[in-house]
């Protein structure tokens, strides 16, 4: 397996883009990534697209062909593949693109993620997202994702003494980070009181514990590490990639406060990169709900199981802390266009490793991206580094 | 790139399976494939699943996690990835599985395709399938797939003098083949008169020119060629794999009687396998409508453009002809559970190369599978062989 370099990144503004179509949103990010890399369409060997549910949001399947066509790639008959694992669709696309280049199958691969979620009513989008759970054994009985993550939150509180304030602090931190991210959906500060007193969604979670419904796209261009300097003086390397599954339903797990797919994907990625959790300087993790960020930092090994709330409380995960988590604002404040999120994380980490993250820049040589599908049926972990793996 | 061996195959009965759920249908095929290979769940390194639209047919996305869970693979945290390109979803899954093994990333990969289409009304299924076309520029204006393929048929008739009888003969042949396939949805003979006089769907195409709505699944187990004999005395090798894109809409093409993605995917696959069209002894091609089989045999190079109808008329593509096409009965008579079709083709060709195709057995050393998404926005071509590539 070769090391793989990210030589171009692109990302749209995240938010409610009622005046832009699905294809326009994607192309905006894709063109940015190609221009950033100095790559032309005719140089692209393959495309992977992460998308959860264009079928249900905009009645469009076969989005890989749609995108290849409107990007001009179908003129060269470039193969384009959509991958899907709910909210981890972007992470899957990144892994397939990584494998394609790392294994020597292709040289220049564009990887994108996109979702257009605001063309349906809010209650419809909750129903559409519920398709990431087990329809027959969760959704049919009324379980929605806020409900499932609320069960997890209550169990975490019960088992580990995690406090409501610690959970709320995740949202406060992520909103603060997003004030410095011009692409973020919510660029406003909030307080713990605002989180706790917001409209209850599923006890103990409120509206401000929840990631929003978002339109947006992100894209990266990948090439073999040895060719990176043909494109950029400032390449970033993907040195580890892991993907794993867990039960789709939380009721089939031994412990609903642990997401085994995150742990397994992280172990694969750490091993491939020859790194461990102590080497990570910055991470973008999957905070679809505040409690999910606490699970993530535990399951990725950044602290002991049960100590995630305390780690947040102590400020370790803040922008100026020892291990900044979600400098972009995370899913909570940057926004969560589900298919795009996994790629947005890679764009954000690349920007930090390049020193191009603007006001929210952190000092980092090694970063991590963590993307989860549903309540953890799928997870991906990628490790990005300023240096090639030795 | 290593050669890859198919060491296990499984397929369900195709048809209206109202008493079976999506997950049951898939597991039926998957377990057959694992038993056929003598492989246990704990030996599986990765899974790829082709599925077009479980989201819209049964309100279930994230089917890779669902399947990994119910197959017991999530106990080992096996990564599972759904790929989608409409009716070419199965072909995409086969290619991703092939690439995963051929590149040395994984050793033992299970690849499946599945669709559960009969839980919705017929008119809904036409609408759901229309999501494979360009929603904004085709489907919104009333174009359905029968309509799009009828335009292609009329143009082919006009430009090349293809006759209605030649087109109808495709359905007659495929129904005849299916009488010998116990897994086929329609195991009855039909006549050209029956095809021409059936209910008109979109002039000139009738109901009997059209593939049906089908539930079904198929699966194969892939390992590196050098390990094939650990599993079977009768391995079949995938020696070539190609995928390509074309415009998603037919109105953007120079010539609607040619599917450029088929031509490009075939060239890639032939080159990789070090073969050309003259080496192919049997093929499963994408006959979603009768006219599509005529386009396929032309675009795959089996005859000159415009001569496909004549090739069918002359009986060359019949079971006892020089180049049997769609011995399974094709999409037309075996049935077309869209995400499963690309894998079903590989199962069928493997059975012929192994000499295990029963009554419909043809003599063949090299076979080809051709899978199309929508009206050709995506196509895949795979070449299977009794011998490893020299």
pLDDT of B125-140, one tens digit each?
Answer: 999 999 999 999 999 9
Tell me whether residue B378 is in a domain.
Answer: yes
Q: What is the pLDDT of residues B54-94, one digit of tens each?
A: 999 999 999 999 999 999 999 999 999 999 999 999 999 99
The mean per-residue pLDDT over the stretch A32-60 comes to 97
Q: How many CB pairs under 8 A join A and B?
A: 204
Tell me whether residue A199 is in a domain.
Answer: no
Average pLDDT across chain B, whole number: 97
Nearest neighbour of A82 by CB, restricted to B84, B100, B136: B84
Closest CA to A210 of A255, A166, A175: A175
Nearest neighbour of A85 by CB, restricted to B62, B102, B245: B62
Residue B122 has pLDDT above 90, yes or no: no
Distance in angstroms (rounded) separating the CA atoms of residues B181 and B6: 21
pLDDT band at A51 (very low <50, low <70, confident <90, very high): very high
CATH of the domain at A248: 3.40.47.10
Q: What is the pLDDT of residues B325-367, one digit of tens each?
A: 999 999 999 999 999 999 999 999 999 999 999 999 999 999 9
CA-based nearest distance A138→chain B, Å? 11
Residue B141 CB coordination number (10 Å): 9
Chain B CB within 8 Å of residue A144 CB = no
CB contact under 8 A, A96 and B86: no
Q: Which residue of A has its CA nearest to B131?
A: A60
Distance in angstroms (rounded) separating the CA atoms of residues B53 and B63: 10
Q: Classify the C-alpha dihedral A330-A331-A333-A334 as positive or negative.
A: positive
Q: Which residue of A has its CA nearest to B138?
A: A60
Q: Specify the number of domains making up chain A.
A: 1
Residues of B in contact with A128 (CB under 8 A): 55
Within 13 Å and on the Cβ side, how many CA atoms surround A302? 28
Distance in angstroms (rounded) separating the CA atoms of residues A178 and A169: 14
The mean per-residue pLDDT over the stretch B307-319 comes to 98
pLDDT band at A271 (very low <50, low <70, confident <90, very high): very high
Tell me whether residue B153 is in a domain.
Answer: no
The mean per-residue pLDDT over the stretch A317-324 comes to 98
Chain B CB within 8 Å of residue A110 CB = no
Tell me whether residue B133 is in a domain.
Answer: no
pLDDT band at B260 (very low <50, low <70, confident <90, very high): very high
Residue B17 domain boundaries: 4-121+212-385
Chain B CB within 8 Å of residue A133 CB = yes
| B114: helix, strand or coil | strand
Distance in angstroms (rounded) separating the CA atoms of residues A63 and B61: 15
Active site residue ranges of A:
87, 336
Q: Is B87 a catalytic residue?
A: yes
Mutation to test the A interface, candidates B62, B80, B105, B378, most A Cβ within 10 Å: B62
Chain B CB within 8 Å of residue A382 CB = no
Tell me whether residue B203 is in a domain.
Answer: no
pLDDT band at B390 (very low <50, low <70, confident <90, very high): low
Q: What is the pLDDT of residues B191-203, one digit of tens each?
A: 999 999 999 999 9
Tell me whether residue A144 is in a domain.
Answer: no
Residue B149 has pLDDT above 70, yes or no: yes
Tell me whether residue B235 is in a domain.
Answer: yes
Q: Which residues numbered 315-344 in A keep a CB inside 8 Å of some CB on B?
A: none
Active-site pick, B336, B352, B370, B382: B336
Residue A122 has pLDDT above 90, yes or no: no
The mean per-residue pLDDT over the stretch B266-294 comes to 98
Tell me whether residue A129 is in a domain.
Answer: no
CB contact under 8 A, A248 and B136: no
């Amino acid at each position: 397996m070769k090391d793989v370099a990210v030589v171009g990144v692109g990302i749209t503004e995240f938010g409610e883009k009622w005046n832009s179509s699905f294809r326009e949103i994607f192309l905006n990010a894709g063109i940015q990534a190609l221009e950033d890399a100095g790559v032309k369409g005719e140089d692209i060997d393959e495309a992977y697209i992460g998308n959860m549910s264009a079928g249900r949001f905009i009645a469009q399947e076969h989005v890989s062909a749609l995108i290849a066509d409107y990007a001009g790639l179908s003129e060269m008959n470039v193969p384009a593949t959509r991958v899907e694992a709910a909210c981890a669709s972007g992470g899957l696309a990144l892994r397939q693109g990584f494998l394609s280049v790392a294994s020597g199958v292709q040289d220049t691969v564009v990887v994108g993620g996109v979702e257009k979620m605001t063309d349906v009513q809010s209650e419809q989008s909750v129903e559409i997202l519920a398709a990431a759970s087990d329809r027959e054994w969760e959704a049919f009985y009324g379980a929605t994702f806020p409900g499932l993550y609320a069960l997890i939150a209550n169990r975490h509180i019960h088992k580990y003494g995690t406090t409501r304030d610690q959970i709320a602090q995740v949202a406060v931190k992520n909103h603060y980070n997003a004030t410095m991210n011009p692409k973020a959906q919510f660029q406003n500060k909030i307080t713990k009181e605002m989180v706790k007193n917001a409209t209850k969604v599923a006890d103990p979670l409120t509206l401000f514990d929840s990631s929003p419904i978002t339109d947006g796209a992100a894209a990266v261009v990948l090439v073999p590490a040895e060719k990176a300097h043909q494109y950029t003086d400032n390449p970033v390397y993907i040195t580890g990639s892991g993907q794993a599954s867990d039960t789709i339903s939380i009721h089939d797990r031994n412990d609903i406060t642990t997401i085994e797919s995150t742990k397994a994907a992280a172990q694969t990625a750490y091993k491939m990169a020859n790194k461990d959790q102590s080497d990570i300087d910055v991470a973008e993790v999957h905070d679809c709900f505040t409690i999910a960020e606490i699970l993530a930092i535990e399951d990725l090994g950044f602290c002991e199981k049960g100590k995630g709330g305390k780690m947040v409380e102590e400020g370790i995960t803040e922008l100026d802390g020892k291990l900044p988590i979600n400098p972009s604002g995370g899913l909570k404040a940057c926004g969560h266009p589900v298919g795009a999120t996994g790629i947005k994380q890679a764009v954000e980490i690349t920007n930090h490793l390049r020193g191009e993250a603007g006001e929210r820049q952190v000092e980092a040589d090694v970063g991590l991206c963590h993307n989860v599908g549903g309540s953890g049926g799928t997870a991906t972990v990628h490790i990005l580094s300023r240096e090639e793996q030795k």
